[in-house]
Amino acid sequence: MLWLTDSFEAIRDFMELGGPLLRWIAVTIFLMWVLIAERVLYFRSTMKTMSREIHEAWESRSERRSWNAHQIREMMISRFEMASNKGINVIQTLVALCPLLGLMGTVTGMIGVFGVMAVSGSGNVRAMAAGVSQATIPTMAGMVGALSGVLLVTLLSRRATREVEFLADSLTMDH
């Protein structure tokens, strides 16, 4: 149990060291990961069920060659594509937001350093160090969040595209 309290204290100290923008970065990264986890769970369960249901509905049609049948097929594929790509744009936006928030943390931290230098000159190294940590920690956190998100959102996008193409190829137009 001691390790849990030590971990909590270390995280709390890190958050305080990084300044107020580090909380916004943490919330952004948390939301991004929640959405990524939702998409992964969707791909593992709901997407397979939806694909199977669409395939069964298409195969149960007696007529698949008319213009009307072609439009129904396109509608089925389109609905599947919309469901597969749902939330990916939001994840991409959160990924792009992470380094921007980190940059804003850099600017606010450096403003603190310049404020200390204006008041006490460059002799107060301890006061300047607090501003420098507020400048570098949010930058690092924003970049780590963005890098972790970029890889996964790319994998999710590719998987969605591949599944839509596979469904479109499997819905044959014969009969």
Q: Is residue 1 part of a domain?
A: no
Burial of 3 (0-12, 13-18, 19+ CB in 10 A): exposed
Count the domains in the chain. 1
Q: Is residue 130 part of a domain?
A: yes
Q: What was the pLDDT predicted at 12?
A: 86
> SS3 for 92-151, per residue?
HHHHHHHHHHHHHHHHHHHHHHHHHHHHHHHHCHHHHHHHHHHHHHHHHHHHHHHHHHHH
Q: Is residue 10 part of a domain?
A: no
Spell out, as residue ranges, where the chain has pLDDT lower than 70.
122-123, 174-175
Q: Is residue 6 part of a domain?
A: no
Tokens of 162: 């591949």
Q: What was the pLDDT predicted at 128?
A: 74
| Domain that includes residue 144, residue range | 20-170
Q: What was the pLDDT predicted at 122?
A: 67
Q: Is 86 helix (H, G, I), strand (E, B) or coil?
A: coil
Q: What is this structure's pTM? A: 0.83
